[in-house]
Amino acid sequence: MALLPSYLERQGSSLIAMMDHFIKLSGSPGSGFYLNNVEKLLADLRESANHDRKIILWGVSFALLDLAESRPGPLKALIFETGGMKGRRQELTRVDLHDKLSKAFDVTSICSEYGMTELLSQSYSVDKTRFKCPPWMKIVGRELTDPLHKGLLNETAGINVIDLANLHSIAFIETEDIGKVYGDGSFEVLGRSDNSDVRGCNLLVESAP
């Protein structure tokens, strides 16, 4: 089930294309997109739960937060937030967002996706901070003031992405995201570099005090 109002309101979204693929692959009559019909979403969640189906609810961050505040209550679903307030809400750190959603929906954890239009692959997190990549994808930390100094570990760095699934495109991308890369290949996303645009379906940045 996909609660992605801002993406359904425009054409050409890679996230919508991915969700459409998952929905068709599931073969379930309970799968579908939800724009603003929260009552229909909650009814379909209850109906699927009554049939002991495994449920994944994908949602853009502001829509999940709206749902958490307007209709809190237990959800029998694996919840994936795809990031992004899209100017609809005050930006939150991922930890704060996950705490709010977990308490509202009475779940132990919230999952996250890190991806962008320029990449064919995505990374996923099953805790509040670190993402993990598939084997063909790698995150490399670079020095913020020296883009040629790469390979930083356990410290704040710019995020470079190697995605070998970009077979007929660019496999090496320097983003304007800031994070930390760890020795086991996992990484955190901490925000955006100065003077860069807040963008993408994956990003949560900490609001200025």
Weakest mean pLDDT among 51-65, 107-121, 185-199 = 185-199
Burial class of residue 143, CB neighbours in 10 A (0-12, 13-18, 19+)? middle
pLDDT digits over 98-121, tens only? Answer: 999 999 999 998 999 998 878 889
More confident call, 111 vs 35? 111
Q: Would you state the structure tokens that stand for residue 159, as one six-digit string?
A: 């995020």
Q: Where are any strands of DSSP class E within the chain?
A: 2-3, 33-34, 56-59, 78-81, 111-114, 123-125, 137-143, 146-152, 157-163, 172-181, 187-192
What does the pLDDT read at residue 160?
97
What does the pLDDT read at residue 188?
92
What does the pLDDT read at residue 95?
84
Question: DSSP 3-state assignment of 53?
Answer: coil
More confident call, 110 vs 199? 110
Place of tokens 């983003």: 175
Question: What angle separates helix 61-70 from helix 38-50, to the nearest 10 degrees?
Answer: 80
